[in-house]
Amino acid sequence: MTTAATSVRSTNPDSVTVSAPGASSVRRLLSLDALRGLTIAFMIMVNNNGSDKAWWFMKHIDWNGMTPTDLVFPTFLFVVGVSIVLAYEARLAKGSTRAHLAAQTVKRAIVLFLFGEVVNGFPYFHLGTLRIYGVLQRIAVCYLIAGLFYLWDSGWKSKAAVLIGALVSYWIIMRWAPVPGLGIPTPGLDHVEAGKVPFLDRDANMVAWLDRHIFPGRLYEGTRDPEGLLSDLPALGTALLGVLAGIWLRSKHTLESKANGIAGGAATCLAIGYIWSFWFPLNKKLWTSSYVLIAGGISLAILALFYWMIEVRGWKGKWTWPWLVFGSNAIAAYMISELLGSTLDLIGSWIAGHRFGTTRWIFIHWFAWIPNDGLASFAYSFAYMAVCFIPVWILYKKKIFLKV
């Protein structure tokens, strides 16, 4: 993002316009804006539960498996892929060159990556142990590769080929490539033994091994990182699913056919992903190939529903407004949510003269009185999201849309 503000949303990868091929004018795809906004709102909530007693669907799965919370990040990355197609085509229709867009893509990816480092290091920035990986960093990497790939070739066949190649290659690496010094991944094994390791073991897997050698002492979970380098490969597949959806949405089919096509894609991804999960289990922290397909299938299904409701049926109104507000400044909303808690704790420490958890104090004194622990955590999450909504709403009201 830059500090400059603009009301021209089509220049923002987080705000998208869409046009039919050959059309001279562009219009906003409100269904995509609404999906982006709903995703970022839920992301803020699940990242700020208030306590560890939140309801199960508000927490990430411990290892294999998936909860609704595990759908948030891939859905946002999927939306980034759709946005690449629609935003770039809108810019090209207005006279931008592919070379100019490529340069902007590189710049934006760098800025997004650096924003991720701000989130990781704030407020103390201990450079010796600063985590390099992160949510914004993964978005930056996938946006860079998918964006440049689309500018190089806007056809769907190459995207489908790379998507399949990425998912199958990752499966082969994780299943059959020996983990150096540890052994060959072996299904059904429950402990490390001579020359063999359990398939998708928490630490004895290729993703964790590689990350420990690249960034020792800088990983989110000490011995592993949920946004590790190798797992960027299947994450790119998530973005490419979005790119394919975006290409379909720009086709000359009717609105009803587009909605049906997206729904059909959802069913296909869900079926293949579910079958594949028997051999390659769902795992968000490793971003397994089956996880890509099932999470992508659900993202496609929600997009199909929103597209049918908003674009086909024209059901717009107050129910879409909060999601459109969040969706118009999604990265800004995420940054605000990530930095707010740290800022509150920092201010509390200044006032108290010692380390003081302001956010924890707020939960205990304002929400913990609610008899149901899960409801108390949910109330805190919703309140936190509502507070983050205020500055984003102010930006929206003033027609300020921050862009990378």
- Dmax (CA) for the chain in angstroms is 66
Number of domains in the chain: 1
> Tell me, what's the pLDDT at 319?
85
Which string of b and e fits 189-216 if b means at least 16 CB within 10 Å? beebeeebbbbbbebbbbbbbbbbeebe
Which domain covers residue 329, as residue numbers? 5-402
Task: Look at residue 195 in the predicted model and tell me its pLDDT.
Answer: 87
Contact 140, 109 (CB under 8 A): yes
Give rounded-to-5 percent helix, strand, coil for the chain. 60, 5, 35
Q: Would you write out the chain's pLDDT as a tens digit for each of its 404 residues?
A: 333 333 333 334 444 433 333 333 345 789 999 999 999 999 999 999 989 999 999 999 999 999 999 999 999 999 999 999 999 999 999 999 999 999 999 999 999 999 999 999 998 899 999 999 999 999 999 999 999 999 999 999 999 999 999 999 999 999 999 999 999 999 988 888 888 999 999 999 999 999 999 999 999 999 999 999 999 999 999 999 999 999 999 999 999 999 999 999 999 999 999 999 999 999 999 999 999 999 999 999 999 999 999 999 998 878 889 999 999 899 999 999 999 999 998 898 888 788 888 999 999 999 999 999 999 999 999 999 999 999 999 999 988 887 66
Q: What is the CA radius of gyration of the chain?
A: 21
Residue 57 main-chain phi, psi, to 5 deg = -75, -5
Q: What is the dihedral of CA 188, 279, 289, 300, to 10 degrees?
A: -130
**pLDDT at position 27, please?**
57
Q: Using the 8-state DSSP alphabet, how is residue 62 labeled?
A: S
pLDDT, position 348: 87
- The pLDDT of residue 31 is 93
The size of the chain, in residues, is 404
pTM for this model (two decimals): 0.90
Contacts of 296 (CB under 8 A, 6+ apart): 74, 78, 237, 238, 241, 269, 273
pLDDT at 356: 85
Give the span between the Cα atoms of 330 and 319, in whole angstroms.
Answer: 18
